[in-house]
Structure 1
Amino acid sequence: MAKQYDILFRLLLLGDSGVGKTCMLRRFAEGEFDPSHISTIGVDFKMKTLVIDGIRVRVQIWDTAGQERYQTITKQYYRRAQGIVFVYDITDEPSFLHIGKWASDVDEYAPEKVQMILVGNKADNEPKRRVTKAQGSKLAEAYGMEFFEASASTSRNIKESFTRVTELVLQAYKNDVDHLLGSLDDYLDRAALQDQKDDQDASRTCAC
C-alpha cells in the first residue's frame, strides 16, 4: 500500500486543565465539538494530514493533561515534540498567567529548535473575557511566538492555528534538510521514486 503522507511531525498541546485543549483537537481532527468537559488523563493523541506547499504532512498531535499530578508523565513527550501549541482560556486569567510556567518547562525539556505558537481559546465567550487580545499578543511577542485567538465551539481560527504551527515546523525541517541533503523537494522526489519502484517490484513478485 502506498504511503499516505510524505513527512510525519509531532505537535504537543500545553496549558492548564479546562482551557479547551481537547475540544480544540477534536474540532481540528474530527470536525466535532463536545461541550461536556472530561479532563484528559495523562496523554492522548489524534492524527491529521495537511497538504502544505504540495507536501503531505501527517501531524500527530499529543493532548496533555493540565493537572499537576500528570506533569511527570507529560514531560516525557516534550523531547519528541517538533511543535508546541500553548493554550489558555480568555475567560480564565490564571490560565494565561501560567503560560510562563509551561514555557519554562518547554525550555527545559523540549528540543532547542521546537516551534511554538500561543492560542487564546474560548474567544466566542466575549462577555466573560478576562484577558484582552492585546495582552495575549504582547505575551506571544515576548516569547517570540505567533498569536491566535480561537474558539473550539465556533471553529474560529482552529484550523488556522494548527496549520500555522505545522508550517513553522515544516519550514524549520526544510532548512535542516536543505542544509544536509541539498533540497527537500529533491529528497521527496527520490523517496517517491523509491516507493514507486518498491510497488512495481512487489507487483512483479506477486504476479509470478
Structure 2
Amino acid sequence: MSNFAYDYIIKYIIIGDTGVGKSCLLLQFTDKRFQPAHDLTIGVEFGARFVEVEGKKIKLQIWDTAGQESFRSITRSYYRGAAGALLVYDITRRETFEHLLIWLEDARQHSNSDTTIMLIGNKSDLESKRVVSYAEGEAFARQHGLFFMETSAKTAENVEDAYVDTAKDIYEKIKQGVFDVTNEGTGIKVGSHLQSGGGSLPINVNGGNNNCC
C-alpha cells in the first residue's frame, strides 16, 4: 500500500506501568513478532501500520510511552493530539492494575476529551500466574467508560482486535462529526487520498475539539 493512499492518519498512545508489555504489544501489531527481552522504553518509541475500516485505509501512528515516573513529564506531551489510547496493565501484577486510575486521570487531563480509550489486560497467556480476574478488568472499564480486552503480546491473542476495534470507534466518531478532522490537534489527519477527491469528508456537526496539539 502506498504511503500516499490512505484516507486518515490516526494517532495512538500506549500508556501504563513499566513492564506491562506496552512495547511488546506495539511490536506484535506492527511487526507480527514477540521479543521476550525488551529494553525499557526511554521516553517514547514509535510504530505505524495500515488497517482498513469500512473500506477506508487508515494509518495508525502509535507512540509507546515509558512507564517510569521519571519520564512522566515527557510522556504527558504525547497525550495531546492522541485520538486513541491503549491503557495497559499486567494480569499477573496487581500493582499495575491498582495504578490504572492514576494513568487514566493523567490521560483525561492531558488528552482530548473525545479520545477513545481501550483498557488492555496483557499477558493472558500466563493464566497460571493471574492475580487480576477478567471480571475485575471488565468492571473497571465499565465504571470508567472504557473499552476492554485481554491480550497476549506473546501469542498475539486479541492484539489485532485491540488496535482495530479502537480505530473502528474513532472512525465512527469521525462519521458522526465528533472530531474536527481539519484540526490535527484531534489526533486525526486527513490523507491525500481524500484531499485529492478519493472520498468525501464527513461533515463536522459538533464543531469538533479544538485542543491544540
What is the TM-score when the length of structure 2 is the normalising length?
Answer: 0.83
Shift of 1:194: 7.0
Matched residue, 1:42: 43
Mapping of residues 36-185 of structure 1, within 5 Å: 36-176=37-177
- Count of residues in correspondence between the two structures: 190
The alignment status of 1:24 with 2:25, answered yes or no, reads: yes
Q: Deviations over 1:147-187 (max 9, x none)?
A: 10100000000001011111111111221179999xxxxx9
| Cα gap change, 1:175 to 1:122, in 2 (>3 Å) | same
Shift of 1:42: 0.1
Aligned residue among 184, 191, 198 for 2:195: 191
Matched residue, 1:13: 14
Secondary structure of 1:84 counterpart: strand
- Percent identical pairs in the alignment equals 35
Cα contact 1:18–1:37 (8 A) shared by 2: no
Shift of 1:106: 1.1
Task: Name the CA distance, whole Å, in 1 between partners of 2:40 and 2:194.
Answer: 44
Flag structure 2 segments of 5+ consecutive residues without an equivalent.
183-190, 200-213
Shift of 1:100: 0.3
Letter in 2 for 1:191: Q
Letter in 2 for 1:86: L
Matched residue, 2:208: none
Matched residue, 2:205: none
Task: Name the CA distance, whole Å, in 1 between partners of 2:48 and 2:180.
Answer: 28
Letter in 2 for 1:63: D
Cα contact 1:11–1:83 (8 A) shared by 2: yes
| Cα gap change, 1:71 to 1:133, in 2 (>3 Å) | same
Task: Name the CA distance, whole Å, in 1 between partners of 2:118 and 2:10.
Answer: 15
Report which structure shows greater RCO (CA 8 Å, sep ≥6). Answer: 2
Shift of 1:191: 3.1
Secondary structure of 1:153 counterpart: coil
Structure with the bigger percentage of helix: 1
| Cα gap change, 1:91 to 1:77, in 2 (>3 Å) | same
Task: Name the CA distance, whole Å, in 2 between partners of 1:179 and 1:76.
Answer: 20
Task: Name the CA distance, whole Å, in 2 between partners of 1:180 and 1:72.
Answer: 27
Cα contact 2:5–2:193 (8 A) shared by 1: no
Letter in 2 for 1:193: G
Question: What value does the CA root-mean-square deviation take over the aligned residues?
Answer: 2.3
Secondary structure of 1:80 counterpart: coil
Structure index of larger Rg = 1
Flag structure 1 segments of 5+ consecutive residues without an equivalent.
182-186, 196-208
Task: Name the CA distance, whole Å, in 2 between partners of 1:179 and 1:121.
Answer: 32
